[in-house]
Amino acid sequence: MQAEGGYTLMINIKYSVTFRLLSKAHPDGSHTVRMTVCWKGQRVSQCLPVSAFEDQWDDFSMRARPTKTHREINNINEVVFSFRDKVTDIFQTASLNNHVPSKEELTNALATKIEKPEEEIVEDTETAEVEAEKEKTEENAEVHPIAKTITEFILNQSEERGWAPITAKKFYNIQQDILNAGLKNVEDLNGEGVKKLMKYLNTRNLENAVLMKKASVLRWFLGWCRRVGYLDNDEYKLHQPHLKCPQKEVIYLTWDELLQLYYFDYGSHIALDQARDVFCFCCFTGLRYSDAKRLKWSDVHADHIRIVTQKTSDALTIELNKYSRSIIDKYRTNGVFSPDQLVLPAISIQKNNEHIKDCAMLAQIDETLRLVSYKGHQRIEKSVLKWEVITTHCARRTFVVNALRLGIPAEVIMKWTGHSDFKAMKPYVAIVDELKRENMALFDKA
């Protein structure tokens, strides 16, 4: 292929090489290693002249590792690496020659005398049709159903990253979307498959922000599939929707609104009174609701609380102020309590969200907000009262905004909230800067 200027362009052939153990075991319990090469819609599988035991084979790195019972791995990895290098050489040569090899060409190039294990030798009485059926069954084992694979992904990642249940829910939701789009296996999620999925999502009349989140969750899942060898291409990376998404409105309570809620008397409505207390405690400490719900008396000290967060496993020390301390003191039972007893009467986050809206409505937190969103190119504006959109997470935002407004450095606030970088603080800083400009303008009216 000649390019302008006379130099030669080399074609880029995308391919993948995976090594897996066959499901059928040898008499000694080991399994033959099989290599699978995929490129341009073509696929070639070949058994290697080496076997490994299940406990010594690492599917992620696709190589053997020593164990207490099976220490010898050098020969296994040497064979695997030699075949991997051979495949690399074949495709590099093909790229230089601007030629995409066929299945037959790759098979011939990989041809080598492979001594099959005794139990894999086909007896004379076994017909070619039976052998073909065996190969077909083995090939089908490489297909990865969406539901099964997402469950495996969730189990793997939730254990590795310590996920909360709500994180796993995102992937179960995208699983249902994939199945509704008519895609059954991970292998279907190539470039065309991802487009088909997004086309289905567009029929659901979702807001652009929701579509962008779903696309991000999908790439997260497919990236893992690629790393573990369940997906043999990177086509999914090419589909990254760029939709109009205005910066999300940061819903929070001003200092006056917070005190208005804090001091409001709910009379005999105990459920509302308790929901308000938990919400305000988060407003005065910066805790997530999930962490406030798990707070035990053993976490409470004379002038601070110390807790390991559920979401990020950060060990946080948060000093108490007169407001957070008063809420804690309210729930001391005659000064007698067990260290493992929960401090606050926190209920489910869903029910608490319902109660806190009622709390804010009765306390007349009724500032009018204008929310802007997009569906495709359609701009959608709606006006709501603040109490209608108050949720438990607004408490954490309230803490950050009011702490910045009081002049507390962002670096100190991050120590309390567990934010890992300043990027997450930027939206709150912008709010406080706007408030400062509005307050300075009061001098002009004096």
Residues 311, 420: Cα–Cα separation, whole Å: 13
**Chain center to CA of 417:** 21
Which tokens is 196 given?
A: 């088909």
> Who contacts 196 (Cβ-Cβ below 8 Å, separation ≥6)?
181, 182, 183
At residue 36, what are phi and psi to the nearest 5 degrees? Answer: -125, 130
- Contact of 390 with 365, CB cutoff 8 Å: yes
Q: Is 70 helix (H, G, I), strand (E, B) or coil?
A: coil
Separation of alpha carbons 101 and 107, rounded Å? 10
CA distance 202 to 195: 11
Q: pTM for the whole thing?
A: 0.59
* Tens of pLDDT, residue by residue, the chain (446 residues): 444 444 444 567 778 888 889 888 888 888 999 999 988 888 888 899 889 888 888 877 788 887 777 777 778 888 888 888 888 888 888 877 788 888 888 888 887 534 444 334 333 334 445 444 544 444 444 688 998 899 888 888 877 776 766 788 889 899 999 999 999 999 888 888 888 898 898 888 888 889 889 988 999 999 999 888 888 878 777 777 778 877 777 899 999 999 999 999 999 999 999 999 999 999 999 999 989 999 999 999 999 999 988 777 788 999 999 999 999 999 986 666 788 899 999 998 889 999 999 999 999 999 999 888 888 888 888 899 999 999 999 999 999 888 888 888 888 888 898 887 777 777 777 677 666 666 666 566 55
For residue 99, what are its two tokens? 């030629």
Query: In this structure, are residues 428 and 408 in contact, taking their beta carbons and an 8 Å threshold?
Result: no
Q: How many other β-carbons are positioned within 10 Å of the β-carbon of residue 37?
A: 24
Task: Give 100-117 as a DSSP string.
Answer: PPPHHHHHHHT-------
**Selection from 162, 169, 173, 174 nearest residue 349 by Cα:** 169
Cα(377)–Cα(374) distance, integer angstroms: 6
CA distances from 275 to 318, 350, 352 (A): 21, 11, 6
Give how far the C-alpha of residue 34 lies from the chain's centroid of Cα atoms, to the nearest Å: 31
Task: List Cβ neighbours of 135 (8 Å cut-off, separation of 6 or more).
Answer: none
CB distance 49 to 22 below 8 Å: no
Q: Are 50 and 79 in contact (CB under 8 A)?
A: yes
Residue 51's SS3 state is strand
Please state, in angstroms and rounded to a whole number, the distance separating the CA atoms of residues 28 and 1: 52
φ/ψ of 11, rounded to 5, equals: -75, 150
